[in-house]
Amino acid sequence: MMPQNSVSCTGSKYVIIEVFSDYHSMQVHIPIDKHFLKFSGN
């Protein structure tokens, strides 16, 4: 449920996570989320 909320904010990120495996998507989603959030905020 957590990733879904983030995806809603940034659609581009979803593509990156989709490319990675479900297992990686979870780990990758955490670091990318912070980077994406910074970009969106700025």
Q: What is the pLDDT of residues 7-17, one digit of tens each?
A: 444 555 555 55
Per-residue HEC secondary structure of 27-39 comes to HHHHHHHHHHHHH
| Rounded Cα gap, residues 3 and 16, in angstroms | 12
* pLDDT number for residue 41: 46
Give the pLDDT confidence of 30-42 residue by residue, as tens digits: 555 555 555 444 4
Exposure of 16 by Cβ count < 10 A (0-12 exposed, 13-18 middle, 19+ buried)?
Answer: middle
Q: What is the pTM of this model?
A: 0.15
pLDDT at 12: 52
C-alpha angle 15/19/25, rounded to 5°?
90
Question: Which is more confidently placed, 34 or 28?
Answer: 34
The average pLDDT across 21-34 equals: 52
Summarize the confidence of residues 2-9 as an average pLDDT: 48
